[in-house]
């Protein structure tokens, strides 16, 4: 059954993600757009660098044109945030983006964004799924003939890069003498992240800035393991900082000058502290998902700004931004945006703001900045663990967690949060969250505590607790 998860429909190519199923989903989207009266302004169709993504995009354009819906087809692969901005800039009815983001190369996906530039919320994707069921029930395999007058190829790079240029102080970065290493991981940030740094006079060492549908044999995820080659460049070229983006450039990865990987939670906290200091014109609060560090809570409290907690899924952060409520929004999975920007994750902007932040500090090490942050608001360490767990096992565990234990890992549970999964908060302020992944057959455990040893203990206790119900 074709279903939309946390960030669209994702599946294995050749298994569920086939040309026929893509036609079914795009036809269902057309039916949804017609039912909602959203057929006048056009739909943008974008893609990442995955195998067959260009073919899937052209097939979607064909289906849209057959339904007499104007289609703006990206001439090359494009970052997800650039697609979001193009919807807004052209005042379109939405966008179809063929991407599986950071998933392994054997996956592909289809993501629908609305006319606001934000990912579609569950009520919208639920209606699309109902249209999918109707199209499937017809059990027909219609032929879609292209209608060229409804298809226009577009280049969206320049308009997005102009937007980014208005958000980042490149003069500050160039003056600082920072030597930056950049890695788009063979993905859509090629000629975006590297280009804007070089054109603004910043010293930049670039790797993997060519298209590879197999992403070098790895998932296009900004993990410590996948950034090993970037680490070698940092050490060999004596770079001050390394910046990376995932396959569709909506997530970031950061290495310090010694090659150490800096976890996204710490980058989000450092960026919030920097934005609060450097962007006084931004007004509002801070949004984070239930799985994201509470360092953001402490900083929000210190600066007397509201803190909004959301389910996992950046679409919820995007809605708060559209309501004008945010200075910054973030997710622990390396999702970031800031006020007066886009209601979508933007890994390119996050990377460039980190570079600006380091430049403004006099080229401090990021680890030094983290120690300063801990001295300011208190230390918090965090980690996540992924477990393969079938749906039936998760359902059984979820029933058991209706009445969770009074203690775990020697700490008393003082609060239970069911906003997304089950989060247990303990008497020392530490917490764990157990939730099924919305894109993979996994259960993720997130833990945060004042010491690394306490985090390790919480993860081990949580894992043991889960497995006893298999």
With beta carbons less than 8 A apart as the criterion, state whether 352 and 358 touch. no
Q: Residue 5 has what pLDDT?
A: 81
Q: What is the CA radius of gyration of the chain?
A: 22
CA atoms of 288 and 420, how far apart (whole Å): 13
Lowest mean pLDDT among 137-151, 173-187, 219-233: 137-151
DSSP state of 322: H
Give the distance, in angstroms, between the CA of residue 214 and the centroid of all CA atoms in the same chain.
Answer: 20
What is the CATH code for 167-377? 3.40.120.10
CA atoms of 112 and 107, how far apart (whole Å): 17
The band of 442, judged by pLDDT with boundaries at 50, 70 and 90, is confident
What is the CATH code for 381-467? 3.30.310.50
Query: What does DSSP say about strands 71-74 and 43-47: parallel, antiparallel, or unpaired?
Result: parallel
With beta carbons less than 8 A apart as the criterion, state whether 437 and 444 touch. yes
| Cβ atoms < 10 Å from Cβ of 392 | 9
CA atoms of 41 and 215, how far apart (whole Å): 35
Q: Which residues belong to CATH 3.30.310.50 in the chain?
A: 381-467
Q: Which residues belong to CATH 3.40.120.10 in the chain?
A: 9-156, 167-377
CA atoms of 304 and 152, how far apart (whole Å): 48
Q: What is the pTM of this model?
A: 0.95
CA atoms of 260 and 265, how far apart (whole Å): 15
Say what the alpha-carbon torsion angle 339, 340, 343, 344 is, to the nearest 10 degrees: -80
Q: With left for phi above 0 and alpha for psi between -120 and 50, is residue 182 left, alpha or beta?
A: beta
The band of 397, judged by pLDDT with boundaries at 50, 70 and 90, is low
The tally of CA atoms less than 13 A away on the side-chain side of residue 10 is 20
With beta carbons less than 8 A apart as the criterion, state whether 453 and 462 touch. no
Query: What does DSSP say about strands 43-47 and 151-154: parallel, antiparallel, or unpaired?
Result: unpaired
What is the percent of the chain where pLDDT is above 70? 96
Q: Per residue in 350-376, pLDDT tens?
A: 999 999 999 999 999 999 999 999 999
Q: Per residue in 201-214, pLDDT tens?
A: 999 999 999 999 99
Rounded mean pLDDT of 108-119? 97
CATH 3.80.30.20 corresponds to the domain 9-156: no
216 has a pLDDT exceeding 70:
yes
Taking CA atoms, 415 is separated from 4, 147, 384, 393, 422, in Å, by 31, 58, 20, 24, 10
Q: Residue 439 has what pLDDT?
A: 59
Rounded mean pLDDT of 177-188? 97
386 has a pLDDT exceeding 90:
no
With beta carbons less than 8 A apart as the criterion, state whether 139 and 320 touch. no
Q: Is 211 helix (H, G, I), strand (E, B) or coil?
A: coil
């Amino acid at each position: 059954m074709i279903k939309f998860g946390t960030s669209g429909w994702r599946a294995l190519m050749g298994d569920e993600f086939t040309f026929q199923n893509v036609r079914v989903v795009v036809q269902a989207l057309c039916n949804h757009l017609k039912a909602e009266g959203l057929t006048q302004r056009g739909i943008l169709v974008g893609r990442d660098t995955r195998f067959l993504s260009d073919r899937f995009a052209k097939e979607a354009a064909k289906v849209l044109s057959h339904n007499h819906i104007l289609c703006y087809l990206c001439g090359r692969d494009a970052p997800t945030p650039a697609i979001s901005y193009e919807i807004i800039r052209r005042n379109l009815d939405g966008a179809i983006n063929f991407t599986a983001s950071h998933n392994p190369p054997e996956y592909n996906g289809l993501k629908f964004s609305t006319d606001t530039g934000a990912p579609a919320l569950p009520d919208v994707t639920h209606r699309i799924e109902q249209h999918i069921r109707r199209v499937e029930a017809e059990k027909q395999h219609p032929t879609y003939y292209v209608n060229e007058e409804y298809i226009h190829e577009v280049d969206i790079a320049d308009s997005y890069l102009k937007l980014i240029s208005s958000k980042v102080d490149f003069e500050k970065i160039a003056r600082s003498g920072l030597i930056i290493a950049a890695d788009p991981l063979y993905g859509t940030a090629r000629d975006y992240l590297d280009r804007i740094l070089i054109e603004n006079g910043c010293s930049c060492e670039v790797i993997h800035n060519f298209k590879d549908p197999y992403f070098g044999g790895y998932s296009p995820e900004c993990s410590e393991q996948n950034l090993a080659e970037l680490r070698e460049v940092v050490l060999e070229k004596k770079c001050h900082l390394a910046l990376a983006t995932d396959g569709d450039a909506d997530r970031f990865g950061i290495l310090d000058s010694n090659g150490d990987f800096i976890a996204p939670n710490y980058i989000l906290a450092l960026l919030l502290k920097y934005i609060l200091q450097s962007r006084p014109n931004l007004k509002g609060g801070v949004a984070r998902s239930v799985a994201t560090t509470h360092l953001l809570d402490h900083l929000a409290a210190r600066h007397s700004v509201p803190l909004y907690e959301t389910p996992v899924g950046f679409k919820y952060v995007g809605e708060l931004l559209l309501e004008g409520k945010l200075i910054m929004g973030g997710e622990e999975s390396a999702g970031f945006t800031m006020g007066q920007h886009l209601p979508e994750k933007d890994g390119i902007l996050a990377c460039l703001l980190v570079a600006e932040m380091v430049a403004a500090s006099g080229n401090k090490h990021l680890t030094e900045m983290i120690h300063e942050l801990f001295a300011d608001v208190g230390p918090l360490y965090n980690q996540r663990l992924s477990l393969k767990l079938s749906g039936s096992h998760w359902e059984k565990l979820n029933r058991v967690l209706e009445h969770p234990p009074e203690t775990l890992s020697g700490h008393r549970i003082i609060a239970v949060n069911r906003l997304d999964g089950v989060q247990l908060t303990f008497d020392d302020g530490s917490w764990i969250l157990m939730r099924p992944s919305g894109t993979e057959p996994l259960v993720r455990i997130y833990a945060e505590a004042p010491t690394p040893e306490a985090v390790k203990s919480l993860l081990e206790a949580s894992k043991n607790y889960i497995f006893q119900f298999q």
